[in-house]
Structure formats: structure tokens, C-alpha cells
Structure 1
Amino acid sequence: MDYDVRDLGLADEGRQRIAWADRTMPVLRGIRERFQAERPLAGVRIAACLHITTETANLLRTLKAGGAEVVACASNPLSTQDDVAASLVKHEGIPVFAVRAEDTETYYRHIDQVLDTDPTITMDDGCDLVSRLHAERPDQVKRILGGTEETTTGVIRLRAMEASGSLGYPVVAVNDAKTKHMFDNRYGTGQSALDGIIRATNVLLAGTTVVVAGYGFCGKGVASRARGMGAQVVVTEIDPVAALEAVMDGFRVEPMEEAAAEGDIFITVTGNRDVIRPEHVRRMKDGALLANAGHFDVEIDLEGLARLAPGERRRPVRPMVEEYLVDSESGTTARVMVVAEGRLVNLSAAEGHPASVMDMSFANQALSVEWLVREGQRLEPSVLGVPESIDAEVAALKLAAMGIRIDVLTPEQEAYLASWTVGTR
């Protein structure tokens, strides 16, 4: 078996941590048990470009239990947990090509090695694998039955491909499932992004001003959790509806140009580039912390920041924290700290989302792959939503695992909801 991981000697530690995550992933565990019995993915080859974490390991184990041949690479150079990668290779027999802190050349070589297995299903987090496949292997695209996409940024890129007529096969936008983005994005990102910042810096959030750039579900989660820990939260937005929602939720809303002078901690969660630019940095306080919780390391303009603080004006001050000495707009010199190289702070500086919330996200992934195997031949190349039946099934399974019961409609209630003849009496 071909693979590329840091050290197989880490495998036993990785297996222990994978088992720890599995404890709080009952929905995925139940799917894995069914897959083991039914083998609905027999004969399928899956290329997965995902964050190589304990939670992902349990997803890959589930897909293999369903009969699939699975091979995986990292979807972010800093998100790989090397012990998990080693355990997947040694204990699960799953080829993995992922080494934490790999350079860009290695990152794309690993994607190519995964694509060399000639998959029939792709599973992506950020669309790098799908983009690479379409740009450099057009003949191979024709042999793909379908794919899934895990995150907001990846769905944005896929919709751009669809709009330009470039998308060559159907892809399920797992991110858009209610049981994914309403929970993973909001509660997962909200907790794990702050976890990463705190682990990297040991900062006290209470009494600080936290600027959250972007008020989608990820931004909502970050803003809510920061407020819950005692921070004053300012939201920046470009969408008037999202901005209005932030105001109604009790947050101040300002343009970044104004918020830059007020913030102690800045967290970007927009999915766009250059959200924090040099002109913003020059207005910041001494000691300001910059972190990114969006998928790619482009939300903070790191090249522009490097031009403000070249050479010796830039140095590491803690693991995962780099200090830039910047000539501020006021004529003084300010220290600006970048956490985790501007990459996904929750996975680069911490462990990512808690397993209990990834349980639902990865249940959607597993069930969407099963659906693609069953329906893929009838689907056109497009970005598809997760079937509502899968979304409802995941929610029901999660509630059952939590021991929570809900009401059921009576026949009279069902008839009333289906009727148009009953009015005011």
C-alpha cells in the first residue's frame, strides 16, 4: 500500500484518539454498523480530500465498512493530525497522503497521488481536489459518478464552476444540509475557532473587543461564543440582510475601516480574500491579534502585511503566533500578531470541531455517498442539495442518540395541514 505520513510509530496514539472521538459520534457509528451489514458501497473507489482528524478518521472507517476502497489526503497543510494519519494507514488499511505543515508542492502532489487511484466518487473540503481534477485531468472527470463537498468555500467554488459550464459531474453540497451548517458551522466553528485562538495565545476574551468579519452561520457562532465569554463584539459585513440580523442580535456593526481601530482580536469568517488589508492593519492597536476561521489563508492579506513588516520586523513569538512590527497610521510602531499563519485557526492551533457536532456533518457525508451510488447515473452535472430525507434522518438519529423524543402529528392534524377548505369559524 502506497502512503505518505510522518511516522507510523504514532499509530497507536492515533487509534486511541480516534476511539475517543467515536464515543460521541453515535449517528455515524450506527451508519457504520448498517454499512458493515449491507455493504452498499461495494466496488466504489472514494478519493477524499479532507482535514485528517479523529472525526474524519471515523468517517473514512464508515465508508470502508460500507465496502468502498478509500484513499485520503489533507485539505489544508496545517490541519493534519499526524498520529491519526498513521493510525489510518497501520490499523485501518486506508492509504493516506498527509503530513502536518507540508509545503504547497507536497500538498498538491498528495492530491495527485489520491487522484492516481482513479476514483469513482470524490469527497472534498474546499474544492481543491475537484478543481485539480477538472483543470489537469479532464479525461478522468468522465469516469466520476459524483462527489460531495463539505464546506462553504468549496460550495462557492463549485457554484462558480457550475455557472461557467465547467463542472463535469454532480456534486452534493453537504455544507448546505440543515443538519450540517446550522450546527457544524455555527456551534462547531463558534467554539473551535475561539479554542484555537486561546490555545495559541492564552488570551483572556473577557473585557476585549472582538471583531468578527462575516455574519454567516460561522460568524454567528463566533460572535455568540465571544460574547458569551465576556467580549464586546463588533461585526463587519457586506450583506445588508446579514448586517441587519447582526444588529438585531445585539451586535455593533461597522465597516472594517472603523472597527480596525477598536479591535483587540480580529477573526475572519467570510470565504473571501483580503478582508483585512494593510490599510486596516495600520489603524490597529499595539498587540492586536489576527486570526482566520475561513477555509483558505487569503482572508488576511499576508503579502500586504509582509510588505508593512519586512525582514527583522517579523518574528515568531509563540508556537503558531508570528509578530509583525508595523508603522501605524498615528506614527507609532505597533505589534500585530498573526495566529496560525492565517490558516484555519481551529484546526491549525486546536483540534477542530468537537466530535459530537461532526457526527451530523459526517453522517450527511456517508449517507450522501450512499445516495450518489444509488442515484448517480440519473443525475446531471450540477451542485445538488442533500436530499431532505437524509437531513431529516440525521436529525432524528441525533435526537434518538441524545434520548430526546418529539411530538408526532395526529391524523386530524395531518388532514388539517393538507387542507385548503378549513378557514375561520
Structure 2
Amino acid sequence: MSVQVVSAAAAAKVPEVELKDLSPSEAESQLGLSTAAVGAMAPPAGGGDPEAPAPAAERPAPGPGSGPAAALSPAAGKVPQASAMKRSDPHHQHQRHRDGGEALVSPDGTVTEAPRTVKKIQFADQKQEFNKRPTKIGRRSLSRSISQSSTDSYSSAASYTDSSDDETSPRDKQQKNSKGSSDFCVKNIKQAEFGRREIEIAEQEMPALMALRKRAQGEKPLAGAKIVGCTHITAQTAVLMETLGALGAQCRWAACNIYSTLNEVAAALAESGFPVFAWKGESEDDFWWCIDRCVNVEGWQPNMILDDGGDLTHWIYKKYPNMFKKIKGIVEESVTGVHRLYQLSKAGKLCVPAMNVNDSVTKQKFDNLYCCRESILDGLKRTTDMMFGGKQVVVCGYGEVGKGCCAALKAMGSIVYVTEIDPICALQACMDGFRLVKLNEVIRQVDIVITCTGNKNVVTREHLDRMKNSCIVCNMGHSNTEIDVASLRTPELTWERVRSQVDHVIWPDGKRIVLLAEGRLLNLSCSTVPTFVLSITATTQALALIELYNAPEGRYKQDVYLLPKKMDEYVASLHLPTFDAHLTELTDEQAKYLGLNKNGPFKPNYYRY
């Protein structure tokens, strides 16, 4: 039996992209972008496919034993033994009686009954208790404080090893990668090979980042950049980090949530030489320690910040405010983090320019809407095995995340209610066929409660007390403050861990609710999200970093800015070839009639998609 191995590059050819270019002078005058940002958006010199993966020399060196061929172990290629395929003897056949016994048929046709054997099934422990709570939970105590939004959950159920397998804290381990470096702290550096395979899979669904990496062979727009990041460490984030490295940047990274890290991916990054400080199941003390290890380094000071939730920015303001003298800008991608930045700006305390990626069109319309539309069902199905048809669901909030959740549940046959404070979003919900209610009106009858607001105390203890038995409660917003989980940490209520990230909270009368991810972000706590959607967000982040880092002094003041429209359109154009989509081009006459440049931007900043 022969086995043919096909390379990943041949198996997944990235489609070509036709890009329109502007000269640097045109970009400066028409788009207000830095020359480096335009350079990153232009096709590479000498032509060629802008979306082809980078040569091996440009890509960060993978860990030993990685690649598609490494996945074929000797055990995987075993051929079934011939002895396992025996042909039955036609002269000595067994026939089964209706009553369950067997008969032997002799060559002369005589049928005789075979002796019966009575088999008993014995249980190892007839009195097994199924409701025992775990006794050995180490640092991951269920009673730990959850008051900080920085500890909300955002991890994948696809991790090769759960953090509970080894109770030893990574902070107490001495680990080195194959190059002898120990400037990292991950769960287990030996998992690097598995992580490298996940990263290679993610690369095939992230065409825009691979296109940017291709252009690194010429001008490196982030040369000299020292980026400190605090985001969710997944395979998709790893592709972003390695792309930033290929563009010339030095990176140090921590996780923005205590359950956000895929341990094998963190190990692969550490093996490749990236200083990564993160593991799944950190304590709150570990969380802040990891951020500090990224920032407080002798002989290395960051000049760019990439944040998700604002915790990294907050830590530097609190502990190392003098660092902002050399920091050129902040890129923030979450509602919570952007809210913090606007608060700093309003108070006059924002001392560097900041780019609001969260409110860019490519983030709002794709990550928030389409990503949640798919991942909400995945998270609920994996954790509860429930059927959605006919179930009554209330979704709190009808922003882009809420819209995605409602559309998915409605398509599965659920009866969906919506709560909303904004009359415009409320009218949209009504026009989309959803009944707008107050939470108090339906809390006793619904089967599922989902929060998508970014606010606090949306679901209070009073609501939880009134829910019916087996009601499922979960959160799709960034912060873990939407559900008042702290009010459930009382002596009269019993907590039962049913599955990973699934708890039963039991009332004295026997009523129980099903709480998912302890009120933290559901989709990456209990499932995964589509890589292609994360490619759009990650490309937006990379271009924002390039723009802020290379912008001439004075272009951006100490304020919060939205991503330039031209960059939003460019990010979208890089992903269209995946669908074999073909854009219509304006004629000169049409462009003149509309008062547009033929290459965009095609909509004004105030346009709402």
C-alpha cells in the first residue's frame, strides 16, 4: 500500500488578487495614509502573486518535526493484518435462534443447539456517586474572584491537553526551547509540534495576512517596531504575530483572558523564538504577572501596543507611565478596550494616538456579525447537546453580535425574543421579525438567556431566581460582568461541574440553571470561531499598526481614530478571491459623475453599511 503526500501549498493554492496601486504622493494627498502603509497595500515589486505564501526564508522557522509530513507517523500508516480478514468456513456455520441462542450446522445438515453461557455485567462500583464535586482543582478554584473583566473566558475546546492535566504552575517550571532560550512561560514547550500544525492549518484560511507576509521580502514597514501584545492566543493570533515578525517587528505577547490560550500554539510560538507568557487556566495573579513579564524587560522597551480589552494599556499607565514617551500608538480591537480609551481621551489622560479597530467596518460587520452567527450554535451544541427547534430564547442586545445570534437561532427554529435600550436597534429587531420585550416579561418561560450588550448586571440575581428549571444562561459579550455570577457564590446554592466550562447551579428547592463558561465569553470558551473571519480582523490590526508606526509626526494627535476607509476596503478586497468574486470597475465617466477615484475609497466615512 503506497501513501502519497501532497504539500500544503499545492493542496490549497491561494487565489490571485488584482490590486490597484496609488503612488505615494497620491496616497498622501487623497487618502491621508503614510507611505509605509500604502507600500504594505501595494503589490510586491516585480509582479507575481501577492497572495502566495512567503518563501521559507521569510517565514519564522517552525518547530522541529513540524509540517505535513510530520503528521504521518509510522502508527498512522499501518495496514490491517491479513489475519484479521478470515473467510468463514462454509461447512461449519453458526445460525442464531430467535430466542438468542446459537445453533451448529453440521455438514450433513443436522442442527444441534450450542451450549449457552449466561453473562453477567458487573459494575466496579455499584454505589458510584455521580454528583461529587471535584476535590483537586489547585489554582483553578471555583471560588476565586471574578470581579475583573480581564478574567473573562475566551479559550478553545479544541486544545490537545487541558490545563488541569498538570497542576504544576508554568511559573514554577524551568523550560527552554531548542535554541536554548528561556524567555517565555508556557504550559509545556514539548507541545510545540502540535501547535505548529494548527498554525499551518490556520494559514490556509488567512489569505490577506499571507499576502502581507509575502511583501516582507522587500521593504519591511515595521522594521524597528517593538510591539507588545495582549490578545487571545490562538492559531489565528499566531499567524498574525508571525506576519508582524516577517514585516520587521519584534513582539512580546500575553493572553488577554485567563482561558484564552491554546497551550500547544503558545508552545509553538515560544519554540519559534517569540517571548510568549500565557497558558490556559491562569489565576488572576498569573494574568497580571504575564503582562508584566512582557512589558518590564531589561534592555527592551515597547514602542507600539496591540490590545484587546485595554488591560495591557491600563497596566502600563498604572505601573510604567514613562514608557509612553517612546510609544507611538495603541491599536485596540474590543468594545471594552475602546470604551476605556475614550474615557482616557475625555479626561485628557490619553498621551498617544490610538486606533479604534473595533468600530472599523471590517471588524463590526464580519467578526461581530458573521462570526457570532456561526459560533453561538457551536458553543451551545457542544456544551448542552440541546435541540434548538421550538426552544424559547431571549437575546439581550441587538447590536452586530446580537443580530448574528438571533439570525442563527431563528434559522434553527427557535422562538427568539430581544431586549434592547436603543430605539433604532429595537426597531431593526422588530422589522427582522423578533418580538421586543423586557427581560422581566419572559424570564420565567425562556429556555435560553444570551447576553450581548457589553454592559454590566444585565442578568441579575433576581432574574436568576425566577428562571425555570434547566434554563441555560450564557454570555456573548467581551466582559464577564453582564451576568451577575458573583451573586451565585452563596452558601445556599450548590455548584456542580458537569463538563468543562459547564456548571449546574442548584437552588435549595432542587431547581437548577445551566451556566456556561462561568458567565464569560461563550464562543471561544466552549467552541471555536471561523479562521477566515479572524483573518479579516487580524489584517485590519496589522494595517493599523503599520499606519500608526509610520505616520509622520503630527498626523495623529493624542486622540482615538477610526481606521481610514481605504484600508477597510483594501482588507475586504484581499478576501474576495476566496469566493471567486469579481468586482465591477467604474469607467472614467462614471467615476467623474460620482466624484470618486476609480480605486476608492467608494463611500464617505459617515456611510453606514
Fold similarity call, TM over 0.5: yes
Q: Say yes or no: does 1:302 pair with 2:485.
A: yes
State the match for 1:110 in structure 2: 290
Q: 1:40/1:418 Cα in 2 relative to 1: closer, same or farther (>3 Å)?
A: closer
Cα displacement (A) at 1:190: 2.1
Asked whether 1:43 is paired with 2:220, we answer no
Distance 1:375 1:272, change over 3 A: same
Unaligned residue ranges in structure 1 (runs of 5+): 420-425
Secondary structure at the aligned position of 1:323 is classed as: strand
TM-score under structure 1 normalisation? 0.93
In 2, the alpha carbon distance for the partners of 1:209 and 1:36 equals: 54
Q: Does 1:285 align with 2:468?
A: yes
Pairing 1:369–2:545 present: yes
| Mapped contact 1:134–1:168 kept (Cα < 8 A) | no
Q: Distance in 2 between matches of 1:282 and 1:179?
A: 40
Further displaced range: 149-158 or 97-106: 149-158
1:168 aligns with 2:351: yes
Pick one of 183, 207, 210 that aligns with 1:26: 207
Inter-CA distance 311–109: structure 2 relative to 1 (3 Å threshold): farther
Cα offset, 1:311, TM superposition:
5.9
The count of corresponding residues between Structure 1 and Structure 2 is 411
Q: Residue 61 of structure 1 aligns to which amino acid in structure 2?
A: E
The correspondence of residues 217-366 of structure 1 with structure 2, limited to 5 A, is: 217-307=400-490, 310=491, 313-326=494-507, 333-351=510-528, 353-366=529-542
Q: C-alpha distance in 2, partners of 1:377/1:317?
A: 56
CA shift at 1:84, angstroms?
0.6
Report deviation, 1:333.
Answer: 4.2
User: What is the aligned partner in structure 2 of residue 405 from structure 1?
Assistant: 582
Is the 1:52–1:84 contact (alpha carbons within 8 Å) kept by the matching residues of 2? yes
Cα separation, 1, equivalents of 2:534 and 2:427:
29
User: 2:257 maps to which residue?
Assistant: 76
- DSSP-derived class of the 1:282 partner: helix
Structure with bigger helix share is: 1
State the match for 1:386 in structure 2.
563
Q: Displacement of 1:22 after TM fit? A: 1.0
Cα distance in 1 between the residues matched to 2:572 and 2:493: 53
**What is the TM-score of this pair, normalised by structure 2?**
0.66
Tell me the distance in 2 between the aligned counterparts of 1:3 and 1:122.
19
CA displacement 1:164-190 (0-9 Å, x = unmatched): 112121111111111111000001122
Q: SS where residue 110 of structure 1 aligns?
A: helix
Please state whether the residue corresponding to 1:46 is helix, strand or coil: strand
2:541 is paired with a residue whose SS is: helix
- Give per-residue Cα distances to partners, 1:71-124, cap 9 Å, x unaligned: 11001111111111001111x211111110101111011111111242100001
One-letter identity of the residue aligned with 1:362:
A
Tell me if 1:198 matches 2:381: yes
Contact 2:492–2:507, Cα closer than 8 Å, also in 1: no
After TM superposition, which residue ranges in structure 1, 4 or more long, deviate above 3 angstroms? none
Q: Which of 237, 241, 249 is 1:56 aligned to?
A: 237
2:335 alignment partner, one of 140, 144, 152: 152
1:78–1:343 contact (8 Å) kept in structure 2 = no
Q: Quick one: which amino acid aligns to residue 56 of structure 1?
A: T
Q: 1:105, 1:86 → 2: CA distance? A: 21
**What's the CA shift for 1:306?**
2.3
Give the unaligned 5+ runs of structure 2.
1-180, 597-609
Query: In terms of mean alpha carbon deviation, does 127-136 or 93-102 score higher?
Result: 127-136
Q: 1:131 aligns with which of 314, 327, 348?
A: 314
The SS at the match of 2:479 is: coil
Q: Percent identity, aligned pairs only?
A: 39
SS of alignment partner, residue 257 of structure 1: helix
The 2-side partners of 1:314 and 1:401 are apart by 46
Note if contact 1:209-1:263 (Cα within 8 Å) is conserved in structure 2.
yes
Rg bigger for which structure?
Answer: 2
Are the counterparts in 1 of residues 418 and 436 from structure 2 also a CA contact under 8 Å? Answer: yes
User: Structure 1: which amino acid aligns with 2:440?
Assistant: E
Deviation at 1:345, TM superposition (A): 1.1
Q: Please, which of 114, 119, 122 is the counterpart of residue 305 of structure 2?
A: 122
Q: Distance in 2 between matches of 1:175 and 1:35?
A: 26
**Structure 1 match to 2:190:** 9
Does the CA-based 8 Å contact 1:27-1:401 persist in structure 2? no
Deviation at 1:312, TM superposition (A): 6.0
Q: Deviations over 1:255-302 (max 9, x none)?
A: 111231222111111111111101111111100111111112111101
Q: Work out whether residues 340 and 349 of structure 1, in 8 Å CA contact, stay in contact via their aligned partners in 2.
A: yes
